[in-house]
Structure 1
Amino acid sequence: MHPPLTLHRHPMCAEIIEAFQKCHADHPFGKFVGKCTELKIKLDRCFRQEKAVKRKVNFEQSKKLKEKLQSQRKETAGQS
C-alpha cells in the first residue's frame, strides 16, 4: 500500500509516479498479475528516501526550535 499518488505532495518521486500510473492505464489487467511490480518497487524506495529527507529536515527544525526555547527560558529566569 502506498500513500495517495499526488504529484504536488511527492515532487521527488513525480517521474516514477507518472510512469506507474501510465503502466496501470496501459495494462488494466496486467497490473493485477505483476506487470507494474518493478515500478511499484521503485516507487516504494523513492517514498522511503523522500520520507528520510523530510524526517531529517523536521529534526533539524525541531532542534533549532528547542535551542531557541531554552535560551528564552534562560533569559526569562535571569530577569526574575
Structure 2
Amino acid sequence: MHPHLHTESNKSCAEVIAALDECHAKGFLWKVTGNCTLAKHDVNMCLRGLRLERTRLNREEARKKREKIEKIWAEIEDPRERN
C-alpha cells in the first residue's frame, strides 16, 4: 500500500506531488496513455530520498542506543569498571 502523499513529512516533495495531482486531474485517458509516468517517477524518487534519509537517521540512533546498552551490560558484568 502506498503512503499518503500529503503529509507533514512529505513537504519537501509538495511540488512534484502537485504536478502528479494535476496530471491525474486531466482524466483517465491521459493517465492510461502514459502521460503521467514522468510525474509519477519524480514523486517516487523524491519519496525514496526522504525514506533513505529517515533510514540513515534511524540507523544512527539505533547504533547509539546499542552502544549505551553494551556499556551498561559491561558494567553489570564487571563491577570494577564502574570507577
TM-score (norm 2): 0.78
Structure 2 counterpart of 1:45, one-letter code:
M
Q: Identity across aligned pairs (percent)? A: 33
Range 7-16 or range 32-41, more displaced: 7-16
Unaligned runs of 5+ in 1: none
Structure 2 counterpart of 1:16, one-letter code:
V
Of structures 1 and 2, the larger Rg is shown by 2
Query: After TM superposition, which residue ranges in structure 1, 4 or more long, deviate above 6 angstroms?
Result: none
Unaligned runs of 5+ in 2: none
CA distance in 1, matches of 2:40, 2:19: 10
Relative contact order, CA 8 A, sep 6+: which one is greater?
1
Structure 2 counterpart of 1:66, one-letter code:
R
Shift of 1:2: 4.2
Aligned residues: 79
2:73 is matched with 73
1:40 is matched with 40
TM-score (norm 1): 0.81
